[in-house]
């Protein structure tokens, strides 16, 4: 039994060209054209209307002339279409296909722990600065909270606010 690869190769092999009911054998012309055009034999297109003319061409010079006259052409390379990738990308932007079932690797690989920490601590320090500048907390309370934030005591800005409210650390007006 032939392998999948062999079947695929045979499927793509250019067959003899049909012209008005009779078969033209253009094997050698196709081979020469492929060498001249510097492509594979499967990427050589022969005009079916001028098949008999191509069949009579037996020298490289004649093949070159037919290439100039565009009776023989190079077929453009087929790439991998990005259409499906674009659709998936648009869906991912909307949050589709990003659930726990699609994730591989630890959480710290998707967003590094350091980045999570930086985002969190910058927000907490910004809030502390705002409170200090507005004179909502004293300098000593600010310093104490700053050190607590640095040690990772607060999970978020709201956690920091809760801590301040529970311990009545806001300055009395």
67-to-37, 57, 138 alpha-carbon distances in Å: 9, 11, 86
Task: Tell me the whole-structure pTM to 2 decimals.
Answer: 0.53
pLDDT digits (tens, 9 = 90+) for 9-68: 555 556 555 555 566 789 999 999 999 999 999 999 999 999 899 999 999 999 999 999
Set out the domains of the chain in order of their start, with CATH numbers. 9-74 (1.10.1650.10), 111-173 (1.10.1200.60)
Q: To the nearest 5 percent, what fractions of the chain are helix, strand and coil?
A: 60, 5, 35
pLDDT digits (tens, 9 = 90+) for 114-172: 999 999 999 999 999 999 999 999 999 999 999 999 999 999 999 999 999 999 999 98
Q: Which long-range contacts (CB under 8 A, 24 or more apart) does 115-122 make?
A: 117/152, 120/155, 120/156, 121/149, 121/150
Residue with tokens 């690797």, as numbered in its chain:
105
Picking from 10-14, 78-82, 97-101, 104-108, which range would have the lowest pLDDT averaged per residue?
10-14
Burial class (CB in 10 A: 0-12, 13-18, 19+), 74: middle
For Cα atoms 32, 38, 39, give the angle at the middle one, nearest 5 degrees. 90
115-to-4, 10, 107, 119 alpha-carbon distances in Å: 47, 53, 12, 6
Instruction: Measure the CA–CA gap between 71 and 19, rounded to whole angstroms.
Output: 14
């Amino acid at each position: 039994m032939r392998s999948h690869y062999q079947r695929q190769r045979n499927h793509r092999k250019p067959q003899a060209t049909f012209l008005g009911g009779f078969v033209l054998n253009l094997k050698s012309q196709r081979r020469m054209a492929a060498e001249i055009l510097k492509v594979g034999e499967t990427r050589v297109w022969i005009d079916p209307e001028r098949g008999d003319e191509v069949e009579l061409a037996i020298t490289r010079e004649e093949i070159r002339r037919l290439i100039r006259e565009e009776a023989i052409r190079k077929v453009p390379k087929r790439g991998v279409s990005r259409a499906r990738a674009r659709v998936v990308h648009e869906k991912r932007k909307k949050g589709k296909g990003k659930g726990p079932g699609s994730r591989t690797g630890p959480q710290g690989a998707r967003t590094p722990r350091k980045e999570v920490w930086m985002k969190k601590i910058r927000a907490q320090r910004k809030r502390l600065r705002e409170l200090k500048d507005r004179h909502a907390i004293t300098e000593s309370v600010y310093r104490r909270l700053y050190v607590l934030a640095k040690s990772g005591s607060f999970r978020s800005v709201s956690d920091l606010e809760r801590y301040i409210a529970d311990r009545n650390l806001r300055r009395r007006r």
